């Protein structure tokens, strides 16, 4: 984990907060905390699309931190997340 990733955890309790987020899907293959982390880090790295985030999670900069996750999973998780519960 690099300094960029350590700071939110140290300052805000990042790992604990993302673990407390409610899950809108039943029996998810990837937990919401993993989906949120992929989306947040993808946005922080200024990735322009979900496919770019998917590629980064599969074999590039996010592969060790997040692990493989498909763009379909990201879309499905976002569609089933209740924005009012966050």
pLDDT of residue 56: 95
pLDDT of residue 57: 94
| 62 domain residue, yes or no | yes
Q: Following DSSP, what letter does each residue of 1-60 receive, concatenated?
A: --HHHHHHHHHH-HHHHHHHSPP-SSS-SS-HHHHHHHHHHHHHTT--SHHHHHHHHHHS
| 50 domain residue, yes or no | yes
Please count the CA atoms within 13 angstroms of the CA of 18 that sit on its side-chain side. 15
The answer to whether the CB of 68 falls within 8 A of the CB of 57 is: yes
- pTM for this entry: 0.79
Q: Please identify every stretch of the chain with a pLDDT value under 50, giving residue numbers as ranges.
A: none
| 37 domain residue, yes or no | yes
Residue 60's domain comprises: 30-86
Domains in the chain: how many in total? Answer: 1
């Amino acid at each position: 984990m690099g300094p960029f990733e350590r700071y939110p955890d140290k300052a805000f309790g990042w790992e604990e907060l993302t673990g407390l987020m409610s899950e809108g899907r039943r029996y998810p293959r990837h937990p919401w905390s993993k989906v949120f982390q992929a989306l947040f880090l993808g946005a922080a790295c200024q990735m322009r699309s979900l496919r770019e985030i998917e590629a980064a999670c599969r074999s590039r900069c996010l592969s060790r931190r997040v692990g493989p996750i498909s763009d379909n999973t990201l879309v499905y998780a976002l569609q089933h997340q209740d924005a009012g519960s966050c």
